[in-house]
Chains A and B, each alone.
Chain A
């Protein structure tokens, strides 16, 4: 039973919805050898960084009016 905590009493009770125990894809450019899951995390971090740059502050409209 891969990717889950299971006992005879609670079979697959806490199984993962997405099983990531399979093989990952890899991107190989020059000496850089990057797994696709790592690439996704790095892209998400960049998106988060850009979001932090461009997203307006909470209540910015209210603050501007006041």
Chain B
């Protein structure tokens, strides 16, 4: 069939379909919508009774520091020396890098540092400075903050390297209450080395976190309701706890985690196309994967919206003829 014949045929079909010359049936849209709403509500209630909802216990800095004190201290040192993921993230937390971009579109940079986080100050020095009645700790914090950047780096590097050989032991000076759970006051024992004031600071931060004080300090926002968990989440994300829990629940990006849910609950299967791009190159190896995936999905969404205007694609329903299955009685009657 030539292109002109094809166009002529399409024009005839469109003209024929433009005006309905057959009979009409009454249709109560409100009744239909009410029935649909009722059925869906009933299904939702029945499913909620049968399956309930995910019941994962939350992770906090308190539980993390008690369960994995070495990982906590390792992360805290990386926050102190600026080598953590948050410290090097860029906008919206800091200016460490320009962030993800595609061609001339620098969305992260354009929106700027909307939620500033100075990891050393916010996660270590600030909370430690608020602990009262510990002159030795305050002296250690003062020593660190007044030292040169190169001296600070020597201390933190030595401490970080030695953490691989650190031991975890119960706190020797504290009388452990009978009701205290295991790991609630464990300390990290470092091999001998020149760590300056970092050992004192890290031990104090660990005890502060194990008591729950660091959760509260990072949640404090100066407003009546404290609901901004960004600092806590970023600190947790810099450590190994969240990643290990996510991996166990198949929630990592490499595990199609975007469409999964914890436990055996079905997840967000409609996000399959979003998460699919992250599994293949160049998205899986790109530092700009997020903005690339958003761009691809944006283009596909625009194409989807424009289907009625795309020659060939808009004719697919007519070619596939699924509509004849739905309205088979009508077509069987020959009208």
Contacts and interface: CB of A to CB of B under 8 A. Distances in A.
A2 B51 CA distance: 12
Contacts of A33: 250, 255-256, 279
Interface residues of B, number: 29
Contacts of B22: none
Interface residues on A, range: 20 to 34
Interface stretch (B63-71, B232-240, B262-270): B262-270
Contacts of A52: 326
Contact of A38 (B54, B259, B263, B280): B259
Given A53-B322, A53-B325, A37 B266 contact: yes
Contacts of B54: 20-21
A15 B52 contact: yes
Given A24-B250, A37-B261, A2 B256 contact: no
A23 interface: yes
B260 interface: yes
Nearest to B326: A53
B269 A18 contact: no
Nearest to B278: A31
B55 A35 contact: no
B52 A38 contact: no
B50 A16 contact: yes
A42 interface: yes
Contact of B51 (A14, A16, A31): A16
A20 B326 contact: no
Contact of B52 (A14, A32, A37, A41): A14
Contacts of B25: 63
Nearest to A40: B266
Given A4-B52, A53-B322, A54-B325, A21 B264 contact: yes
B30 to A, nearest CB: 17
A7 B276 CA distance: 42
B49 A35 contact: no
Contact of A35 (B56, B260, B333): B260
Interface of A: 2-4, 14-24, 26, 31-38, 40-42, 52-54, 56-57, 60, 63-64
Interface of B: 25, 49-52, 54-56, 250, 255-256, 259-267, 269, 276, 279-280, 322, 325-326, 329, 333
17 contacts: A4-B55, A16-B50, A20-B265, A21-B54, A24-B250, A24-B263, A24-B265, A26-B250, A32-B256, A35-B266, A35-B267, A36-B264, A38-B260, A38-B266, A38-B269, A53-B326, A63-B25
